[in-house]
Structure 1
Amino acid sequence: MHDKQRFMLYQGCFLIISFCVLLVGFPIGGSLDLALIHPWVSESGKFLLRDNWYLAELNHRYVKDLIILVYVIFCMLWLASFKLEKLKPLGWSYGYFFWLVILSTSIIGLLKSQSAHACPWNITIPTPQGFLWDFSATKGHCFPGGHAATGFALMTGYFVFRQSDKKRAYFYLVAGLILGFAMGWAQMMRGAHFLSHNLWTAWVIWLVNVGFYLFNYKKFKPASVQHPS
């Protein structure tokens, strides 16, 4: 079986199965979401770590800015490839990486802007016995997880380099998963998102990458092309 056909088969099965798992096992605000976020909610329904410096500034600002810098570097490499002979063989790949990151994170942003799902910190109602979850709250625009998208978008590198540099491809895949989940979990601790928000973020970004990769499969350089150091 040709590599592209095998890839389509595996990814098609993975996307369908993972979609069903998320739909059934991780409904937004479902029992798993509530159980996993419960340790971070006080008895009165307050998220005590909402303004924690490590979560609100280090994670939500500085880590995000650092990852964005990586994407800016790819943009600069792409632009430089129009002038520097050494970079020309990989110019298309660098540009593809940058623009797919922009596209995938923008799609997450668009979905989030149209979402009716509110953030956990906006849907707790204090009661004399503790608090209740109000899933009828109208303050939406909190699904999927925008912050986690910045980390998950690094998975684009897996598709860019899977044919030419397996080690680099898996580095971006693992880095994207670790950073995406870590950034998303930190937002959970603050009360900004449920776990399901971030899992769907990863799924959407993977879907976008699979789709565009299949349309551009032949344009990526094979392993015989050496990467500039």
Structure 2
Amino acid sequence: MLKTLILPLLLFSLLFELFYQQKLDFVLADWWYQLQGGQWALQHHWLMQSLLHDRVRNLNLLLVLALLGYALWQRWIGKAALLSHALWTLLYAVLSCFALVSLLKHLLPMECPWDLLQFGGDMPFYGLLQQRPDAAPVHLCFPAGHASIGFAWLGLYYFFLDLKPQWANKALAGAALAGTVLGAVQQIRGAHFFSHDIFTAALCWTVCTAIYFIRLPKPTAQARLAGVDHNA
């Protein structure tokens, strides 16, 4: 439990403190902004918007549908029970991550960098839990939805943990890299601060971990939470 959840969340908390509370968010965003000549010149660039945003989002939808189809097929043929269990665990984790990120976007209506006065917008900055004027428009910029396309697949770590443990860390690194790259795309466009991506990564990892342990047989889950099983 210490390795799989507590230590990662401590690291995420430290990073969130540095970027959100200590305002490194604005330092990094201003750097991207100035690199583009004091504007978000790449906001609608075909590479950033059409390819790395729209098409990646469509590809992710196809991957989720493929995962659903494969999970249903495995259940229908009634073979490879361990594989079927792992597939459904991954599917529940991925869908839960997307659903929770979407819900929080509506509950925590923060602005994107491109909305803010200092970055060419028309809005002042309101903190995460700061009281907002009733007339303030709602912007759905927190957490980072696009980064969640990569971070939701952190559940691949647990998918491979019981099937092919030697692939688990590679899958974890791949999903983390995908989330980081997709988050950076949105930062370059002015759509998110880095702390938005940090929060999304922490949220997705927590959801994937929780669903994995919830779906484990009780004795196995208790042993792994206690750190008995070295694969956990």
TM-score of the aligned structures, taking structure 1 as reference length: 0.80
Q: Secondary structure in 2 aligned to 1:81?
A: helix
Q: 2:207 maps to what in 1?
A: 208
Residue 224 of structure 1 corresponds to which residue in structure 2? Answer: none
Matched residues in 2 for 1:62 and 1:132: separation? 29
Question: Equivalents in 2 of 1:201, 1:120: separation in Å?
Answer: 17
- Secondary structure of residue in 1 paired with 2:162: coil
Measure how far apart 1:24 and its partner are: 2.1
Answer yes or no: is the 8 Å Cα contact 2:89–2:211 preserved in 1: no
Query: Aligned residue for 2:228?
Result: none
CA contact (8 A) 2:115 2:122 kept: no
**Residue of structure 2 in register with 1:62 after alignment:** 55
Give the secondary-structure state (helix, strand or coil) at the position aligned to 2:2: helix
How far, CA to CA, are the matches of 1:13 and 1:125 in structure 2?
A: 36
Match of 1:134 among 112, 120, 124: 124
SS in 1 for 2:40: coil
Q: Is the 8 A contact 1:152 1:177 kept in 2?
A: yes
1:48 corresponds to 2:47: no
The superposition leaves residues 109-137 of structure 1 with CA deviations (integer Å, 9 ceiling, x where unpaired) of 111111131011111257xxx99982046
Q: SS state of the match for residue 27, structure 1?
A: helix
Using the alignment, how far apart are the partners of 2:44 and 2:16 within structure 1? 31
Instruction: Tell me how far apart the structure 2 counterparts of residues 131 and 101 of structure 1 sit (CA, whole Å).
Output: 33
Task: Work out the CA distance in 1 between the residues paired with 2:116 and 2:167.
Answer: 42
Residue 155 of structure 1 aligns with which residue? 154
**What's 2:189 paired with?**
190
Distance in 1 of aligned mates of 2:121 and 2:74: 57
SS of alignment partner, residue 75 of structure 2? coil
Between Structure 1 and Structure 2, the one with more helix by share is 2
| Cα distance change, pair 146–211 in 1 and its aligned pair in 2 (3 A) | same
What is the CA–CA distance in structure 2 between the aligned matches of 1:20 and 1:80, rounded to whole Å? 40
Distance (Å, rounded) in 2 between the aligned partners of 1:173 and 1:121: 31
Shift of 1:139: 3.7
Distance 1:45 1:138 in 2: 24
Is the CA contact (8 Å cut-off) linking 1:45 and 1:125 kept in structure 2? no
When residues 52 and 207 of structure 1 are mapped into structure 2, their CA distance, relative to the original with a 3 A threshold, is same
SS of structure 2 residue aligned to 1:65:
helix
2:64 to 57, 68, 71: 71
What RMSD over aligned residues (CA atoms) do the two structures have, in Å?
2.6
Unpaired stretches in structure 1, ≥5 consecutive residues: 1-7, 221-229
Letter in 1 for 2:173: V
Paired with 1:208 and 1:57, the residues of 2 have a C-alpha distance of 29
